[in-house]
Structure 1
Amino acid sequence: MKTIIIGGGIMGLATAWGLARQGHDVELFEQGPLPNPLASSMDEHRLIRHPYGTHAGYARMIDEAYAAWDLLWNDLGQTLHEPTGTLALSGNGADWAQNSAATLASIGRPMTELSMEELPRRFPLLDTKGLERAFWIETGGVLLAQDIVSALASHLSAQPRVKLHAGVPIRSVDLEHGRVATDLGTTHAADVVVVAAGAWASRLVPDLAGRVVPSRQVVIYFDLPEDQRLPWAKGPMIIEKTGDVGLYLVPPVRGRGMKVGDHEFSRTGDPTAARDAAPDEMRALLDRCGSLLRGFDRWKIRNLKVCFYSVTDDERFVVEKQGGKGWVISPCSGHGFKFGAVMGLELARTIAEGRDAAAHARWAAGLAGDGPT
């Protein structure tokens, strides 16, 4: 069987990896270089964690995600993940942290609640301003995202059944008949065509327009004062929601940057446009950092990075069969990378084994508990 994959981010590469492991032929087309610095996957790091609010399906899926990453580490010959544990915080009436704790308790993954007196003793670089509840779980950590994408692309380039085409934009796709046309004037055919084009997907698959919306997002990288570098490098990931503004913090593991972002979607922007950002547009996030993080006044902004999510209204993933020979895989909404390995691996299995497409779509959307069948 031959599959054409459009998109060289984590989802496209992981699907190619899954198919190649099963002995199938793959041609992957990426509009830019491989890796593409404009891809949603390309940043220093991404988080993987069990707390998921009320989304029990995705909370359960984290164990499957870890198993798939372990399989990938074995194939790559290196582990590109650093465990940190997960600290979930909420306040001002927001209930994400306690909902996460309740959901995880229901599936046998209990979190430990920390009192507001205990929190700064255990994590002395935190303040409790605006906080009401805090929960801790030992699982969770940092995925070294751009290193993973680079290593996976390199691994696939050495596989005899895989052909990677960098710098070859796709002009059109025919998901009914399994054909694609490139901007170079060439056409290619396969048994299956998978569109994994991230923020560009709706340009190739009009049915996605309005369902999957490009969303310009800004994250901030900081330089830390000398006395805080080591403590934060050993610190936890933090997911904090206080009703007015929420943030996530990625500790500077393995010499990577200290990153802070929010989970508020802009639902605007063009992924082909210039990616400039200014600190003023992140003022609410910076103000929250100032009240949550001790010594924040000594932090220096290193740079602001603009990336693009592909957002759905309910933040659930779209992985579905379209046409006689087509699939669309768009698991993002700002929380997709952690599932990259398992999404690609399972889609490869569904394609190769002819598993039920509707069941697969429900599983990918976090609506089924036992995986695709």
Structure 2
Amino acid sequence: MKAIIIGGGIMGLATGWALARAGCRVDLFEQGALPNPLSSSFDEHRLIRHPYGDHAGYARMIDDAYAAWDTLWHDLGQRLYAPTGTLALSGNGTDWAQRSAATLAAIGRPMEELAVADLPHRFPMLNTGGVERAFWIDTGGVLFAQDIVTALVQHLGKSRGVTLRAETPVRSVDLDRARIVTGAGAIHDADVVIVAAGAWAGRLMPSLAARLVPSRQIVIYLDMPAEQRAAWAKGPMIIEKTGDVGLYLVPPMEGRGFKVGDHEFSRAGDPDAGRDATEDEIRPLLERCRSLLRGFEQWRTERLKVCFYTVTEDERFVVEKQGTAGWIMSPCSGHGFKFGALMGRELARTIVSERDPGAHTRWAAGLEGDKPS
């Protein structure tokens, strides 16, 4: 079987890896460099964690995601991950942490509720005013995202039957005939075409543009005094909602940066436009950091980074059969990277084994607990 993959982010690369492992020939097209610094996958890190609010389907998937990453680490010959544990905080009437704890308890992955009064002793780097509930789970950690996609590109470049075509934009796609036409007019045929084009998917397939919306997002990399960095290098990931702005915090594991972002989608922006960011765009998040992070007046903004999510209305993944010989692969909405190896592995299995496409779609959307059989 020959597969064409459009898009060289984590989803396209992981699917190419899994298809190549299954003995398929793979032709992967990327409009920019491989890896592409403008892709949603290209950043220092991404988080993987069990707490998922009410989304039991995704919470259940995390163990399978870890298993898929372990397979990838074996193939790459390196483990691009650091464990941190997960601290979930809520306040101001919000209950995401409580709902996450209840969901995980129901699936046999209980979180430990921490007394708010004990937080300053256990996590002295935090100001905990406004925190009403706190929950901890030992699982969770940091995936070194841009190192992962770089290693995947290198691995696939050495794999038999895989052709990587960087700087080769695709102009049109025929998902019934499994045919694509590049920007230069070259025609390529295969047995199956997988569109994993991230924030550009709606441009390539206009019928999906209303469902898969590009969303300009900004994250802050922060620099702290040296005496605090040692403590934070052993710190947890934090998902917090106690003020008007919720945040996620990525500790500086293994020499990487300290990153803070929020999960509020802009649902606006052009992924081909300039990527310069201003502090005005992220001022509310900086104010929230000032309240949560002890000694923040001594910190400084090291850099701002703009990336693009591809979001759906309900934040569920879209992995669907399209036409007689095509798939759209958009497991995104700002929480997809952690499932990259798993999504690639399972789509390859569905394609090669001819599993039920509808069951696969429901599973990928977090609506069913079990993988398609």
Same fold (TM over 0.5): yes
Residues 1:173 and 2:173 are matched in the alignment: yes
Q: What is the CA-CA distance between 1:57 and the residue it aligns to?
A: 0.2
Q: For residues 1-373 of structure 1, what are the structure 2 equivalents within 5 Å?
A: 1-242=1-242, 244-373=244-373
- The alignment partner of 2:165 has SS state of strand
CA RMSD of aligned residues (A): 0.6
Q: What is the CA-CA distance between 1:243 and the residue it aligns to?
A: 5.4
Question: Within 1, Cα distance between the matches of 2:201 and 2:100?
Answer: 31
Look up the equivalent residue of 1:275 and give its one-letter code: R
Look up the equivalent residue of 1:125 and give its one-letter code: M
Look up the equivalent residue of 1:63 and give its one-letter code: D
CA contact (8 A) 1:50 1:140 kept: yes
CA contact (8 A) 2:243 2:288 kept: no
- The alignment partner of 1:346 has SS state of helix
CA contact (8 A) 2:171 2:181 kept: yes
Look up the equivalent residue of 1:147 and give its one-letter code: D
Question: Within 2, Cα distance between the matches of 1:34 and 1:363?
Answer: 29
Q: What is the CA-CA distance between 1:242 and the residue it aligns to?
A: 2.3
* Percent pairwise identity: 72
Q: What is the CA-CA distance between 1:281 and the residue it aligns to?
A: 1.4
1:176-226 Cα shifts (integer Å, max 9, x gaps) = 110000011101000000000000001111221111100000000011111
| Long gaps (5+) in structure 2 | none
Question: Within 2, Cα distance between the matches of 1:372 and 1:255?
Answer: 39
1:302-350 Cα shifts (integer Å, max 9, x gaps) = 1000000000010000000000100000011100000000000000000
CA contact (8 A) 2:181 2:188 kept: yes
Question: Within 1, Cα distance between the matches of 2:372 and 2:142?
Answer: 26
Look up the equivalent residue of 2:38 and give its one-letter code: L
Question: Within 1, Cα distance between the matches of 2:227 and 2:258?
Answer: 14
- The alignment partner of 1:26 has SS state of strand
Look up the equivalent residue of 1:306 and give its one-letter code: V
1:220-249 Cα shifts (integer Å, max 9, x gaps) = 001111111110010000000125210000
Question: Within 1, Cα distance between the matches of 2:357 and 2:174?
Answer: 19
CA contact (8 A) 2:194 2:326 kept: yes
Look up the equivalent residue of 1:70 and give its one-letter code: D
Question: Within 1, Cα distance between the matches of 2:119 and 2:98?
Answer: 15
Question: Within 1, Cα distance between the matches of 2:334 and 2:242?
Answer: 19
Q: What is the CA-CA distance between 1:128 and the residue it aligns to?
A: 1.2
1:48-85 Cα shifts (integer Å, max 9, x gaps) = 00000000000000000000000000000000000000
Look up the equivalent residue of 1:151 and give its one-letter code: A
CA contact (8 A) 1:93 1:243 kept: no
Aligned residues: 373
User: What is the TM-score of this pair, normalised by structure 2?
Assistant: 0.99
Look up the equivalent residue of 2:18 and give its one-letter code: G
- The alignment partner of 1:117 has SS state of helix
CA contact (8 A) 1:221 1:259 kept: yes
Question: Within 1, Cα distance between the matches of 2:352 and 2:216?
Answer: 35
1:85-123 Cα shifts (integer Å, max 9, x gaps) = 000011000000000000000000000001111111100
Q: Comparing 12-21 with 277-286, which one deviates more in the overlay? A: 277-286
Look up the equivalent residue of 1:162 and give its one-letter code: V
Question: Within 1, Cα distance between the matches of 2:157 and 2:280?
Answer: 42
1:115-169 Cα shifts (integer Å, max 9, x gaps) = 1111111000111122110000000000000000000110000011100000000
